[in-house]
Amino acid sequence: MSEKPQTYPGVDRFYGRRKGHTLSQRQQGLMDDLLPKLSVDVSDIVPSNLDALALFSEAQTKVWLEIGFGKGEHMAWQAAHNPDVAFIGCEPYLNGIAGLLTHIDESDIDNIRIYGDDARHILTALPEASVDRLFLLHPDPWPKTRHAKRRFIGPKNLDEIARVLVDGGEFRVGTDHPVYREWTALQMAQREDFTWTAEIPSDWAKRPDDWPETRYEIKSLKEGRPATYFRFVRSSRSIDCRAG
Ligand SMILES: C[S@@+](CC[C@H](N)C(=O)[O-])C[C@H]1O[C@@H](n2cnc3c(N)ncnc32)[C@H](O)[C@@H]1O
């Protein structure tokens, strides 16, 4: 896999880190041998034409997507607890991919496929209403106002997320950053295609049982920044039509 980010029509450049410390021999072995078996390639896919379920066995009947899975501990947990789910994880950070491969290798998980680049390519490739759940956990906050365009949550990506989610599909966002928390709440409040499910503070302040902690979450909690757990539900498309 190239260490340079790919370019993709209609997708601005990616801001982030591709590689950190040198991989251990075991990690490099997994990158060489296991990753090619699990990699998703969308370079030749016509937009909206990726048949995600075809990448899995018949046991998997619905698609979940995680954007920026870091070292993959959340996705590995979800995949192990939801064997009927076809899980696609997107992460351009090579050390993160190596971390996920270690979880997969140690737990015999067979329902994860990996896209080792910018998640926006996968969003473009997926058909309308083809994803049941989407996770964006502790995205890079880019807290300075002049960097706001780099935040993953923004009108263009939200349009794509709304397009690929099924009616009633869930969009989970976790963040420990006060700027990103407010940004997410404001961006999502402007959308008619999503409803925020929270009714009382514990709905967003308390981690749901089926939402395991991520590495960033544990780190930020230790530093005194508890997370917010946003759960948005994709509105029914018939309601979109009436609104339009
Ligand atoms: C702050 S880390 C959080 C990692 C993990 N979700 C966690 O909570 O521990 C953000 C991750 O998002 C990844 N990322 C940033 N932009 C991305 C993009 N456009 N597509 C996929 N992943 C992206 C980064 O490489 C990084 O690993």
How many Å lie between the centroid of ligand 1 and the Cα of residue 93?
Answer: 8
- The answer to whether residue 19 sits within a structural domain is no
- The answer to whether residue 222 sits within a structural domain is yes
Rounded to whole angstroms, the Cα distance separating 110 from 224 reads 36
pLDDT at 52 over 70: yes
- The answer to whether residue 76 sits within a structural domain is yes
- The answer to whether residue 5 sits within a structural domain is no
Give the CATH number of the domain where residue 52 resides: 3.40.50.150
pLDDT at 8 over 70: no
- The answer to whether residue 17 sits within a structural domain is no
Q: Could you report the per-residue pLDDT of 74-133, keeping only the tens digit for each?
A: 999 999 999 999 999 999 999 999 999 999 999 989 999 999 999 999 999 999 999 999
Q: Is 140 a catalytic residue?
A: yes
How many Å lie between the centroid of ligand 1 and the Cα of residue 241?
Answer: 33
59, with CB counted inside 10 A (0-12, 13-18, 19+), is: exposed
H or E element, residue 102: helix 94-107
Range of the domain at 125: 28-243
- The answer to whether residue 20 sits within a structural domain is no
216 — pLDDT class (breaks 50, 70, 90): very high
pLDDT at 25 over 90: yes
- Main-chain phi, psi angles of 38, to 5 degrees: -110, -5
- Testing ligand 1's pocket by substitution, the residue of 42, 67, 121, 213 carrying the most ligand atoms inside 8 A of its CB is 67
Rounded to whole angstroms, the Cα distance separating 142 from 12 reads 16
The predicted pLDDT at position 165 comes to 98
The predicted pLDDT at position 18 comes to 80
The predicted pLDDT at position 244 comes to 47
Mean pLDDT along residues 30-55:
96
- The answer to whether residue 15 sits within a structural domain is no
How many structural domains comprise the chain? 1
Rounded to whole angstroms, the Cα distance separating 19 from 136 reads 20
Of 85, 1, 101, nearest to 41 by C-alpha is 1
The DSSP string of 142-207 is --SGGGGGGSS-SHHHHHHHHHHEEEEEEEEEEE--HHHHHHHHHHHHT-SSEEE---STHHHHS-
- The answer to whether residue 235 sits within a structural domain is yes
How many Å lie between the centroid of ligand 1 and the Cα of residue 150?
Answer: 12
pLDDT at 217 over 50: yes
Residue with CA closest to ligand 1 atom 4: 70
